[in-house]
Amino acid sequence: MEKTLVLLKPCTVQRGLVGEIISRFEKKGLKLIGMKMMQLTDEILCEHYSHLREKPFFGILKDSMKATPVLACCWEGIDAVRVVRTMTGSTNGRNADPGTIRGDYCMSNQQNIVHASDSLETAAVEIKRFFKEEELFEYTPSNLNFMYALDEM
């Protein structure tokens, strides 16, 4: 099973969409193995968005991510990284397909509801960035045999 990181951004907290977004991942069948509210800092954001450091929008991106606490979530499932990215949709909510989270809930390139890890390698690094080992949990969902076929697990 893969693990992936999702951040529910400050726009999601402010707009009262936290429950709705978590519910979409739950209904899909992903397993929540860690979740916490945290206030992000320049330090963690510079690391997390290091690939965007030279971009003109980097300053306002960091400010937008510090506007309120975020919810960090770790989801687990077969192919979880790709599944969650597909559910998330294109970066700009105005271009994101209807049916995706960004396509259904936002109109912005920056206030775009969630962050989701973009590869298995990135997910491993990002999960470590936001969670201590003891903040992630192992348990067996009682409906597991109805979520996947026996030959998929």
List residues binding ligand TYD (CB under 6 A). Answer: 52, 57, 61, 91, 109-110, 112, 115, 118
Least distance from C-beta 99 to ligand TYD, angstroms? 16
For ligand TYD, the closer of residues 13 and 147 by Cβ is 13
- In the three-class reduction of DSSP (H, G, I as helix; E, B as strand; rest coil), residue 100 is classed as strand
For ligand TYD, the closer of residues 30 and 114 by Cβ is 114
Least distance from C-beta 81 to ligand TYD, angstroms? 12
48 is catalytic: no
The CA distance from 107 to 2, in Å, is 30
Task: Identify the sign of the CA torsion 50, 56, 59, 61.
Answer: negative
Closest residue by beta carbon to ligand TYD: 110
Least distance from C-beta 115 to ligand TYD, angstroms? 6
| Residue 92 CB-density burial (10 A; 0-12 exposed, 13-18 middle, 19+ buried) | middle
The active-site residue out of 11, 87, 115, 126 is: 115
The CA distance from 15 to 121, in Å, is 31
What letter represents residue 92's amino acid? N
